[in-house]
Structures are given as C-alpha cells and as structure tokens.
Amino acid sequence: MAQIRLSKLRHSYVPAPKGPEDYALKEIDVTWRDGGAYALLGPSGCGKSTLLNIISGLLTPSEGQVLFDDRDVTGLPPDQRNIAQVFQFPVIYDTMTVRQNLAFPLKNRGVDAATIEARVGEIAEMLEVTDMLDTKASNLGPDNKQKISMGRGLVRDDVNVVMFDEPLTVIDPHLKWKLRSKLKELHQKVRATMIYVTHDQTEALTFADEVVVMQDGEVVQIGTPVELFERPQHTFVGHFIGSPGMNVLPCELRGDHAVFEGHEVALEGPATGTGGTLKLGIRPEYVRLGETGLPAQLVKVSDVGRHFVLDAMVGNTRVKAVSETPPPPTGSPVNLSFRPEHTRVYRDGWIATEARP
C-alpha cells in the first residue's frame, strides 16, 4: 500500500484554458496517508471522475503531479500503477464461480495456489459469501455480484490503493446500509489505502476517516466527518452535509455581531476580511426554541422519527431548527436562539469568523 499525494493538480479539457472556468479541476493539493480511508464527495459534475481518472492513469493532468510514496507516477499508464478499482457496476466473469472470480486477480499475478486459497477464503469470510464460493457468478443477483466485485478489488494485498467509484449504485436500498458498514469494517481489517468516490454524504461520512468535499472542480474542505459537520469552511459544505443542511441566511455585520432580519446575533468570534456577500451560517441542530430569542412564527413541523424538523419564519426568512421535544402547533409564535459558538459569518461562501480559543 502507498501514501498518495496529489500535488498542485489542475485539469482542463480545453486545449488552451484561459480562466478558472475552463478547468474541470481547479487545483487540488492533498496527501492521503498509507492505509487511510478517504472519500471524495461532491455533486454530479464537480470533477470526481476527472480526479479518479488522473489517479488511475486514464487521464494525464494538465498540471501537477501524482505521487505514490514519493514516486512520480503522473506519466505512467494504468497497468503500471498497481491499483485496484471497484466500479458502479459489477465487473465479474459470469462463466466463472465466485471462487474463480475472487482468485482471478491473484492468479493473474502468478500467486501460488496455497496463498490464493487462503486469501480467497479470508476475503469470502469478510464479505460473508463463503457459502457461495462454488456458485456460478451468472446465478447471483446484482447485490451479490457487486459484493464479489468488491472482493476482487480487495483480494490483492500488494496494490498501492483501492478505489471505489460509487460502488453502491446498483445495491438494493435496504442492503445499502449493511454494505456501507461492511466496507468500513473491511477497511479496518485490510488496512489498505482506500479512496471512495460518491455524491452521497452518508456513504462518504460512514466510510471515510477524512473526506474531500468538491464543488465545481474545487476542493472546498478536507476534514473528518466531525469537522465537516461542526465547522464548515464553506456554505456549500454546510448545506451539502447534514440533514437538513446548515441555514444560510442573509446578514450584515455590525462590529463583532451579525444583524439578521433586524436582530443582533452573537457570533463564534470576530469577523475577518471586508466586502463580498455576507451570509450567516447556523446548523438547525444549534437553533433552539425557547422563551427568549428572535421572534418567529412556526410554519412547518416534520416528525422525522428521531426528532422534529421545524421551519420558522423570522421576518421574511425561513430558518430550520431541530427539536428533540414535541414543538407547539404550526402557526404558533416562537422564539429562536442561535448557539453563538456555532454561529458564523461567510463571505462570498467562505468562512469569515475566527473561533474564540
């Protein structure tokens, strides 16, 4: 396994790019440590496949380098990079049994029969497919076919990195959660460097120790799931991660306070910078209903099982809140308070408050 370093990578599909808008990948600079579990998360078109293809060698970046353990592999074709990939759709041989499919990547590398048998047995056990080892792959359903595809990706222990590209796309929704946690468990057992590409926040946050969040070809934040939730560096991260996402509200600055719908709101700390469009960011989990706070009117209550999601109007702006206890009926006047240590100002999308130590 290897440490993967992407150094000042940029990519444009246009022959003579003029400005940032011509770059599908604006700039990425990241180091993924040997044996870590990482996710690349972002909506469709943000540049995930471009980045994946650069790492696997299908695409040469316009600028920058790809380094595996400090070895520059930027110019190497895929077959010289020693990578295992699991794709959206199962890649297995229908005419072979599950055992033969799992053994194939090892056989191809000339691994001896005893080692193959042991490793296939080990992987089959981890994936809970031991009872299917002698079943022909053509007789498997799509879920099991994808499981075997994953097994093929994990069976070799000499690859630099295992990359998963939206691997749960074909999996039945009720099995998704099971495979999601299975993959995490597998990583803990296999300890390979793994990169998981997805547009699904739950998959990314369940799997990864660290998530790279992308928007429009740009990395907007790299962080642990907790960091992404607790202190989004960009309004996009706040809104994209969390359910419901962070409230992004119009505001102005007055000294070290924000002014929202005519009310002063305390912030996590002093604001930085000048100019730009300002927004107030606060997660619904940190908005409280109480006796004091901003006057609002409750306009919607959704019982989502674990808690209630509330929509309240403060002046002309809708604010979402999460409540553990049953709220008053829709239409009631309420008061909202924002936890100051979780209330931030964003300038042109980027965080512009400093947390007090």
Among the listed ranges 1-9, 42-50, 113-121, 311-319, the one in contact with ligand ATP (CB under 6 A) is 42-50
Among the listed ranges 47-55, 64-72, 188-196, 219-227, the one in contact with ligand ATP (CB under 6 A) is 47-55
CA distance 74 to 67: 7
Question: Considering the complex, what minimum distance in angstroms separates the CB of residue 86 from ligand ATP?
Answer: 16
DSSP 3-state helix, strand, coil percentages of the chain (rounded to 5)? 30, 35, 40
Residues 165-224 that bind ligand ATP (CB under 6 A): 199
Strand partners, 281: 248, 344
Residue of 3, 7, 49, 82 interacting with ligand ATP (CB under 6 A): 49
Residues 4-23 that bind ligand ATP (CB under 6 A): 13
Query: 111 exposed, middle or buried (CB, 10 Å; 0-12, 13-18, 19+)?
Result: middle
Among the listed ranges 43-51, 121-129, 244-252, 342-350, the one in contact with ligand ATP (CB under 6 A) is 43-51
46 binds ligand ATP (CB under 6 A): yes
Nearest of 180, 118, 122 to residue 151 by alpha carbon? 122
**Strand pairing category for 37-41 and 194-198:** parallel
Count CA within 13 A, CB hemisphere, residue 17: 16
Helices 142-154, 173-190: axis angle to 10 degrees equals: 10
C-alpha separations of 289 from 88, 191, 311, 347, 355 in Å:
43, 45, 11, 27, 24
CA distance 42 to 24: 13
Among the listed ranges 39-47, 104-112, 168-176, 261-269, the one in contact with ligand ATP (CB under 6 A) is 39-47
44 binds ligand ATP (CB under 6 A): yes
Question: Considering the complex, what minimum distance in angstroms separates the CB of residue 4 from ligand ATP?
Answer: 18
Given the complex with ligand ATP, which of 193 and 215 has the nearer CB atom? 215
47 binds ligand ATP (CB under 6 A): yes
Residue of 1, 2, 6, 24 interacting with ligand ATP (CB under 6 A): 24
Q: Which helix (H) or strand (E) holds 281?
A: strand 278-282
Question: Considering the complex, what minimum distance in angstroms separates the CB of residue 13 from ligand ATP?
Answer: 3
48 binds ligand ATP (CB under 6 A): yes
Residues that bind ligand ATP (CB under 6 A): 13, 24, 42, 44-50, 199
